[in-house]
Chains A and B, each alone.
Chain A
Amino acid sequence: MEAFQDFLSLSIRAIRNIFRGPHYADDIFRQMDIIGVGSLPIVMLIGLFSGVVMTMQMARALQQYGAEGQVGQIVSIALVRELGPVLTAVLVAGRNASGIASELGSMKVTEQIDAMRALGTDPIQKLVTPRLIATSFVLPLLTIIADFIGLIGGAVIAYALLNISSSQYWTSAWMSLEYNDLAQGLIKPFVFAVVIALVGCFYGMRTSGGTQGVGRATTKAVVVSSVWIFFLTSMITRFFLYYT
């Protein structure tokens, strides 16, 4: 309970700092580079293979009904609504929540965070808020890229293995998407980004116990943010299914 209160307190201060100075633009861009550009290759790879695998699996199921022509529709809905946001977020959580927790954890155990406070800098303003802004900005973009690459992978498989023409695949994929799907596909990564950044920073900032403590903080950050991603995706999906 105390940990949750501390997490809420950190989150409120980090979000409040977005609207008041000083702003560390250099740190924000550096984090965008680390989180966004750094995660791009792996996100593209995973996006491609999810599209490929999903197309093959769905095609097999649809063949039973002679409806393999609709594979583009199923792949696009699944990718845009669910798989793209969740897989990208889990990847970024594994790569960046751990990175954030270990970096801040190392700073904590070597008293760099205390030094920052003693030398006139609010560590939440300097360390947490830039990571929050950067992750919230780049994760939706990474998700869009993963979705698109996944659809391309699906198109290649549909054409090469299923003899579905490219125009049929893309028309089916495009026509099946509604604003509701796009909204889900963009709101989810934004919410996940907030969770990944804050959970990573939270466990990093409360690290204790030397290098072992840094290891524990890193593991906790990945596990907790991943669990939250799956919990929140079910909540958001439920919201969209029942209230829109």
Chain B
Amino acid sequence: MSPDSSRTGELVRFEDVSLRFGGTPALEEVSFAMGPGETRIVLGAAGSGKTTLLKAALGLIKPDSGRIFLFGTEITDLSEQNLFDLRARAGILFQEGGLFDSLTVEENVAYPLLNQRVLREAIHSNGTGHQPPVQTLEKRVRETLHFVELDQTLDKFPSELSGGMRRRVGIARALVTEPALLLYDSPTAGLDPITANTIIALILKERELRNTATILVTHRYLDGHLITNFRYNPSSGTVERAPRSAEGAEGVKTKFFVMKEGRLVFQGSESELQAASDPYVLKFLRHGSS
């Protein structure tokens, strides 16, 4: 499972990846790469392959053809056991939340720390001196829940929380491992505009403070626009418009993808997206700005 030396600078690389469910294409010759600190906003209609793209990036779904690299290691045919250690370096927020409904919020957030071998070992090796592992773990869980402003929900079950709170717990669970790569699957889907903006603010806050590479899947252009043009100000604790550069506020670090029937039909910056002439691509801009 040694990393391919030519890919070590990249976090994710897809090379001509195709996947079909039955006869329906979920991914069609998808190719892209992204490095540390970069952001990709993936737009697309329902069923266009956005979620499949995210799951394939973590090896949760195997492609029919093509190659996928995660943290420089080819995962296309990697066994599940070997994938666990790689996945420990990534965090994911699932579309449905994916919270374990039989566990409390605290147990949900602690889950990756207790179950991912490399993280479990790291916590145990740090748990010397005055701070035993259990306290280290509790501290990290509480800090992460404080980050998503859910300090008071430790003992609650997911069913007792609102939709927006569940998403924030999902984000906390993705962040608790301090991953190098974060994958968000429709984090604002089904939420009211105020709660959706709270979630986007959290994503901006996380990116500002930790500079984590991010792939954000959404059907709302507005989400991508906010992520590209706004930043979190740590001193004031608020979200504000970022200073503009020649390539846009986030420059070349943020790119938009548009997916249609499994294909990446657009890759480029926000200004290139706004200048696109493809009617399918334009649909997202019109709906996003309305």
A118 x B60 contact (CB < 8 A):
yes
Residue A33 at the chain B interface, CB threshold 8 Å: no
| Interface size range on A against B | 10 to 19
CB-contacts of A111-170 with B (<8 A) = 111-112, 114-122
B55 x A120 contact (CB < 8 A):
no
CB-contacts of B111-129 with A (<8 A) = 111-112, 115-117, 119
Chain A residues within an 8 Å CB radius of B30 = none
Q: 1/0 per residue A160-191: CB within 8 Å of B? A: 00000000000000000000000000000000
Residue B94 at the chain A interface, CB threshold 8 Å: yes
Closest B residue to A13 using CB positions: B80
User: Which of the residues B99, B101, B117 comes within 8 Å of A120, measured between beta carbons?
Assistant: B117
Complex CA–CA separation, A112 to B284 (angstroms): 30
B88 x A120 contact (CB < 8 A):
yes
Closest B residue to A120 using CB positions: B116
Residue B266 at the chain A interface, CB threshold 8 Å: no
Closest B residue to A114 using CB positions: B60
B115 x A119 contact (CB < 8 A):
yes
Classify the interface of chain B: helix, strand, loop or mixed: mixed
**CB-CB under 8 A for A111 and B97, given A117-B80, A120-B84:** yes
Q: How far is the CB of B96 from chain A (nearest CB, A)?
A: 4
Chain B residues within an 8 Å CB radius of A118 = 58, 60, 87, 90, 92, 94, 98
B97 x A117 contact (CB < 8 A):
no
Complex CA–CA separation, A118 to B116 (angstroms): 9
Chain B residues within an 8 Å CB radius of A120 = 84, 87-88, 112, 115-117, 119
Chain A residues within an 8 Å CB radius of B100 = 112, 115-116
Closest B residue to A117 using CB positions: B60
Interface residues of chain A, those whose CB is within 8 Å of chain B, are: 109-112, 114-122
Q: Besides the contacts A114-B55, A120-B112, what 7 more A-B pairs have beta carbons closer than 8 Å?
A: A109-B96, A110-B96, A110-B98, A111-B94, A111-B96, A117-B80, A120-B119
Q: Could you pull out 12 A-B pairs where Cβ atoms are within 8 angstroms?
A: A115-B98, A115-B99, A115-B100, A118-B60, A118-B87, A118-B98, A119-B111, A119-B115, A119-B173, A120-B87, A121-B115, A122-B80
